A and B are shown apart, each in its own frame.
Chain A
Amino acid sequence: MEIRPGVDLANLTDVGCERENNEDYYCYAEPEDDELYSKRGRLAVIADGMGGYEGGQYASRIAVESVRAAYLKDPEQDPVDALLEGFRLAHVEILTKARENPGLEGMGTTCTAAAILGSKLIYAHVGDSRLYRIRGFEITQISHDHSYVNKLLEAGMITPEEAKVHPQRNVLMMALGSRGQVRADCPDEPIPLQPGDTLLLCTDGLSGLVNNEEMQKAVTGMPLTQACKELIDLAKSRGGYDNITVQLLRVASNDLKKTSAE
């Protein structure tokens, strides 16, 4: 696919050091049609599937495909609503497929979708994959982990140090396809971007083993393609327990006026 000038894009996924399957899935999309592009801009999605032998791969793919299809479908729909619609459809489809196919029972997936619209960022998020904005030496985590440990941390019941080694740090409170109430986060207002800002989307195979400062250093210190490799190699050098996926989008200065989310 041809990517319009205005962003630098790099992405990479790796099965890691211990898994047989890569249950992460991701995409980058921008409409070919210029009019639709002016309403939708650019979309990046990542998902980290889980459950059974095949279910995880299947769930993450359903999520990414549903979000992309819903986002690019109706240019008149509010972009955040379109992302959320994709999440809803994915959730229902995962539950339905799991019900119909015993081999897929219990499957679920995280999903984090970010779109650059003009000079603004919108997103929708469920689970513990992450979205960061890197601006110079500053790295800001925009998404909010729906994990048990994060809940304890936010309630002040454990310290950040305890969280790093908590025995239940692998427990997710919510995922697409999970039982119980599923809620997605999205921004109240689109988040302003500046020229040179870089968005980093990753699955917990990266964020579980590589800290924010290391991510920021890699992203600002080398070309993005190399930064993806560097970050994945770093996670693998520390055990690479899980699948690892990273997407980087850097906003160039000349793209900010081309779409109209203002």
Chain B
Amino acid sequence: MAKFCANGHQMEDSWEICPYCQKTGFDAPPPGKTRIESDPVPAAPRGGMPSPGAGGGARRTVVIGEKPSGAVIGWFVAMNGNQMGEDFRVREGHNVLGSSPECEIVLDDGTVSAKHASLKHKDGKFVLTDLDSTNGTFVNDKTDSIAREEIKDNDTIRLGKLALKFKCL
């Protein structure tokens, strides 16, 4: 009979400790952010073979999390690219900007990562955070990509090559 650790991971007979579930301080948050220049959503193919659709009988779908729908407190306006002139609502709380359809602000631009940056409104301040984007997040004329920075009304931010003007209420 094969050998399994307490989490049901199959082990070689010679292994004393399971390499997949050594105690790594799971309950404690991991240490601070290590920045890498890569896209937060894997760039390698996912689901390369299409799903053939429903198999294995009828299924039902259950909602386990709702879309946040806070009040509108500001806008971004695209200043260049495919969506030039288009406006994007910024809502109370947390807004993720990126090319992935699951972002609050979905941007159609080849230089924008799937989840590129986030804008959080807290205590009257708008804080922009880069989410390990491939091409960086910039504020106004600065040439260094930010990690996190407060932005104000009329600031222009740049995600990759896409420029967005910020307006707040």
Contact = CB atoms under 8 A, between A and B. Distances in A.
Nearest to A180: B67
B115 A106 contact: yes
B61 A184 contact: yes
B115 to A, nearest CB: 4
Given A1-B8, A188-B57, A188-B59, A172 B29 contact: no
Contacts of A50: 40-42
Given A10-B2, A54-B30, A103-B32, A29 B64 contact: no
Given A91-B65, A179-B102, A208-B49, A140 B4 contact: no
Interface stretch (B71-79, B93-101, B155-163): B93-101
A87 interface: yes
Contacts of A130: 51
What size tier do the contact residues of chain B reach? 35 or more
A140 B148 CA distance: 47
A18 interface: yes
A10 B54 contact: no
Contact of A13 (B20, B32, B50, B65): B20
Contact of A10 (B10, B26, B101, B118): B10
Interface string A7-49: 0011111000010001001111100000000000000100000
A1 B57 CA distance: 33
A217 interface: no
Interface residues of A, number: 91
A27 B4 CA distance: 10
Nearest to A65: B26
A129 to B, nearest CB: 9
Contacts of A61: 26
Q: By CB atoms of chain B within 10 A, which of A91, A141, A211 has the most?
A: A141
A198 interface: no
Contact of B10 (A12, A128, A154): A12
Contacts of A1: 4-8
B36 interface: yes
A222 B74 CA distance: 60
B102 A174 contact: yes
A261 interface: no
Interface in A71-95: 84, 87-88, 91-92, 95
A51 interface: yes
B57 A187 contact: yes
B142 interface: no
A26 B30 CA distance: 19
Interface string B27-71: 001111111100011111111111111111111111111111000
B101 A169 contact: no
A234 interface: no
Contacts of A133: 56
Interface in A108-135: 121, 126, 128, 130-131, 133
A178 B34 CA distance: 21
Interface of B: 1-2, 4-10, 20, 26, 29-36, 40-68, 94, 96, 100-104, 114-115, 118, 129, 131-132, 148
19 contacts: A9-B2, A12-B10, A25-B20, A27-B7, A142-B56, A144-B59, A145-B47, A149-B47, A153-B50, A163-B50, A170-B42, A170-B43, A170-B47, A175-B102, A179-B94, A179-B96, A181-B66, A188-B58, A242-B45
